[in-house]
Amino acid sequence: MPLCALSRAKLKSKGAVPKNASVFFTIFQTFMSGGEDEDGNDTPYFGDYPEDFFDFIIIDECHRGGANDEGSWREILNYFAPAVQLGLTATPKRTDNADTYGYFGEPVYSYTLKEGINDGFLTSFKVLPIVGTMDEYLYTPGDGVVIKGEPEPGRLYKEGDFNRIIIIPKREERRVQYWMDRFNPNEKTIVFCATQAHAGMVRDYINQYAVKKGWTTNGSYCVRVTANDGKAGEKDLDVFCDNEKTIPTVLTTSRKLSTGVDARNVRNIVLMRECKNMIEFKQIIGRGTRLYDGKDYFTVYDFVKAHHNFADPEWDGEPLPNEVCKECGKSPCDCEGGDTEEGGSCNVCEQSPCICEKPEPEPCSDCGESPCACEKKIEIKLSDGRARQIKHISAVMYWSSEGKPITAKEFIERMFDDLPQFFSNEEQLR
What are the structural domains, with CATH classification, of the chain?
116-314+379-416 (3.40.50.300)
pLDDT at 207: 93
pLDDT at 274: 85
Q: Identify residue 298 by its one-letter amino acid code.
A: F
- Gap between the Cα atoms of 260 and 76, Å rounded: 22
- Which is more confidently placed, 141 or 412? 141
pLDDT at 413: 63
- List pLDDT tens digits, range 299-308: 889 888 887 7
pLDDT band, very low/low/confident/very high, at 270 (cuts 50, 70, 90): very high
Q: For all residues of the chain together, what is the average pLDDT? A: 75
Burial class (CB in 10 A: 0-12, 13-18, 19+), 52: exposed
pLDDT band, very low/low/confident/very high, at 70 (cuts 50, 70, 90): very low
pLDDT at 68: 46
Is pLDDT at 173 greater than 70 in this prediction? yes
- For residues 344-373, one letter each, b for 16 or more C-beta atoms within 10 angstroms of the residue's C-beta and e for the rest, the string is bbbbebbbeeeeebeeeeeeeeeeeeeebb
Is pLDDT at 226 greater than 80 in this prediction? yes
Cβ contacts of 289 within 8 Å, gap of 6 or more? 113, 116, 117, 122, 123, 125, 298
- Which is more confidently placed, 351 or 192? 192
* Torsion 240-196-393-277 (CA) sign: negative
116-125, 127-136, 415-424: range with lowest mean pLDDT: 415-424
pLDDT at 133: 82
Q: What percent of the chain has pLDDT over 90?
A: 10
pLDDT band, very low/low/confident/very high, at 409 (cuts 50, 70, 90): low
159-168, 184-193, 278-287, 410-419: range with lowest mean pLDDT: 410-419
311, 305 Cβ separation under 8 angstroms:
no
For residue 357, give the H/E element and its range.
none
Is pLDDT at 255 greater than 60 in this prediction? yes
Please work out, in degrees rounded to the nearest 5, the angle formed at the alpha carbon of residue 81 by the alpha carbons of 105 and 319.
20
pLDDT at 322: 45
- Which is more confidently placed, 292 or 325? 292
pLDDT band, very low/low/confident/very high, at 340 (cuts 50, 70, 90): very low
